[in-house]
Structure 1
């Protein structure tokens, strides 16, 4: 069992809640309200800016050239990912400047600063474990949702699903898992021989995973608030 698989197994309930959240069930069915998706996407753009900083921190904390390359690779992938958000938001008349000017939701602040704090107080393994639920989780979600596009090529969220199901993103996730395995050998060793460190890593992973679920819920809650605010005008 790889270190990532072990972490995922230890946090199985949290992982299931995250990857099977109601937000995703509605997105898969194509019934997710646009207001919820738009609210989520704006916040996810802001999230990615902080996530890029966390990858830059990982590069800074690197001990070897390979560590620096891994950090640079993660930083580049995150910056490129923001282009999806800019493209989709442009369809709603929102520019990159509009996205940059948006206020961070408390859920966005809580999650991103938690990841950055994990990196600041810990080592390379700690920060990559904190980053992993997002990168590897989105790849798992994209792969699982990909078949819905075969039956419904006009799916309202086809571009989002395609992004995370794509070969480049899947490769990024595979590299992230491989990095955790390599760092585990360097900074952890045998988990059974270092139970306190393993418990700490599991706590970091579980917390970041629960924050992913909270991020989906934020999208649903903001979308509902937008719909409620607009309903009197439609009456």
Structure 2
């Protein structure tokens, strides 16, 4: 049972898509990798693998936002996406410093190739944006942007959460922070607005399928971390 309402409007597109893939969404937002973050038992090798691939993901996330500038429906949306690109590029620098704090030198991060999971996820998002319109792209991005905020909420509500001495608390704090939570809510509301201006019932089946596939790819992104600890 959830301890908080989902993001977005009660009758909006975001919640409809989320409900349409409830099993996949549960598997993603409460994946065993997330359990390990919550109770502090995630193997270090898993987190290290995740951190490196997450840096490589950020690069393509910035490219997807650049595509969103091109696909944007207004000047205001173009400005918003341009600011998001700058923020993501700044985040890549911070991410490299964060990796160093976990004993991963910058040279190792930059020399690591993208995993199959990273390639499949990022190229799927960009493909949906290239093939479709701004709604297709925003929907493909939503499980990442909004999903991480929900993951943090679920961890914070977890009765088994390790509060003291959890090595992953800094990661949890990043996505549980008010600023990130507000950004996720705004992203869900934007999906709702695009659902009105660009959607309609005729598109729901395709849009919902995109959201579900991006959700499954998010789960695989977590799983690669667990596979690293298992020697996979």
* Partner residue of 2:115 out of 105, 115, 118: 105
**Counterpart in 1 of 2:216?**
210
Is 1:40–2:67 an aligned residue pair? no
- Aligned residues of 1:42 and 1:85 also touching (Cα < 8 A): no
Superposition deviation, residue 82 in structure 1: 3.2
Q: Distance in 1 between matches of 2:230 and 2:87?
A: 31
TM-score, with normalisation over the residues of structure 2? 0.88
Q: Distance in 2 between matches of 1:113 and 1:170?
A: 26
Structure 2 unmatched runs, 5+: 1-10
- Aligned residues of 2:39 and 2:161 also touching (Cα < 8 A): no
Q: Distance in 1 between matches of 2:63 and 2:209?
A: 22
Which residues of 2 match residues 28-107 of structure 1 at below 5 A? Answer: 28-107=38-117
* 3-state SS of 2:191 partner: helix
Count of matched residue positions in the alignment of Structure 1 and Structure 2: 221
Is 1:117–2:123 an aligned residue pair? no
* Partner residue of 2:226 out of 192, 198, 220: 220
Change (3 A) 1:153 1:83: farther
Change (3 A) 1:145 1:26: same
Structure 1 unmatched runs, 5+: 227-235
Deviations 1:122-176 (A, max 9, x none): 0000000000000100001112223579962421101000001011111221121
Which of 1 and 2 has greater Rg?
1
- Aligned residues of 2:38 and 2:162 also touching (Cα < 8 A): no
Q: Distance in 2 between matches of 1:147 and 1:82?
A: 29
Deviations 1:182-235 (A, max 9, x none): 21111114x2xx2xx110001100000000001111110012218xxxxxxxxx
Change (3 A) 1:169 1:77: farther
TM-score, with normalisation over the residues of structure 1? 0.87
- Aligned residues of 1:86 and 1:96 also touching (Cα < 8 A): yes
Q: Which of structures 1 and 2 has the larger relative contact order (alpha carbons within 8 angstroms, sep 6+)?
A: 2
Superposition deviation, residue 75 in structure 1: 2.2
Change (3 A) 1:202 1:123: same
- Aligned residues of 1:7 and 1:202 also touching (Cα < 8 A): yes
